[in-house]
Amino acid sequence: MGIVNVTPDSFSDGGAHASTQAALQHCEQLLKEGADILDIGGESTRPGSPAVPLDAELARVLPVVREAVKLNVPISIDTYKPEVMRAVLDLGADIVNDIWALRQPGAREAVAAHPLCGVCLMHMHRDPQTMQAVPMAGDVIPEVLSFLTAQVQLLHALGVDHSRITLDPGVGFGKTVAQNFALLARQRELLAAGYPLLLGWSRKSSIGAVTGIEAAGERIVPSVAAAVLAVDRGAAVVRVHDVRDTVAALAVWRAMKAQESQQQTQEQTSTP
């Protein structure tokens, strides 16, 4: 999943793709680099970021979505506003990617009213303005699992099929550095919920904390490492800024896994 921030203030690339033309050029570039999904967002959700008015978000996102749906790849929209969800789904967007896990009034209904769209439910402690000022405490895994399972059940009650749902544990959203890496180390435990996992490690501050790399744009190598580790631990989707490098690293991982599988098959067939 390639990230397309149509914002002036995102933490890693704010302003780089803020115009419709720049955003669409970035979409095309990410596809050339091997992205399978494009995730378009019109509001930064970095820690401490202010909320964006509805009209401003619509003005940023709709012109990009209107053209991006012509690229013949799944289009995901990173939003928590039901009005934006309905507008982009009407234009042909395929996925709603919501940091609030559809907890805003009317959001569940907006998704449930669409017969086919996918939805990614994310765990976030508190809200973007306060989440890192007072991060969550305790064991992160059961808390995340309990929250996401509850949100899934609310969607099921509205008739949303299991096959439409993906879960995101919310790396960096109200969690300590240790808790974020616990999510990675114990990621397979999250598969117990029975849904595909989407992981977003790209250029996050926790990567900066353990590497000492302060500039978000310089965290490419450790971000790619985190993405590969996430896939190795069962992630179905990784949301990244650096598509080309991530795709290349995953090609190495896949080659290794293919040889591993071949070796296991040989050992099984040669066992008397």
Is 233 an annotated catalytic residue? no
Strand partners, 75: 38
Q: Is 22 left (phi over 0), alpha (psi -120 to 50) or beta?
A: alpha
- For residue 49, the SS3 value is coil
Q: Any long-range contacts for 106-112 (C-beta under 8 Å, 24+ apart)?
A: 106/82, 107/80, 107/81, 107/82, 108/154, 108/155, 108/158, 109/82, 109/158, 110/82, 110/85, 110/86, 111/85, 111/155, 111/160, 112/155, 112/158, 112/159, 112/160
Tell me the C-alpha distance between 226 and 184, whole Å.
8
* Catalytically annotated residue among 86, 204, 219, 233: 204
- In degrees, rounded to 5, the angle at the alpha carbon of residue 92 between the alpha carbons of residues 98 and 149 is 30
Tell me the C-alpha distance between 246 and 235, whole Å.
14
Tell me the C-alpha distance between 116 and 182, whole Å.
33
Give the side-chain half-sphere CA count within 13 A for 217.
5
DSSP letter assigned to residue 240: B
DSSP string, 178-199: HHHHHHHHTHHHHGGG-S-BEE
Is 86 an annotated catalytic residue? no
Q: Considering only CA atoms, which of 98, 101, 75, 99 is closest in space to residue 88?
A: 75
Strand partners, 135: none
Which residues have a catalytic role annotated?
204, 239
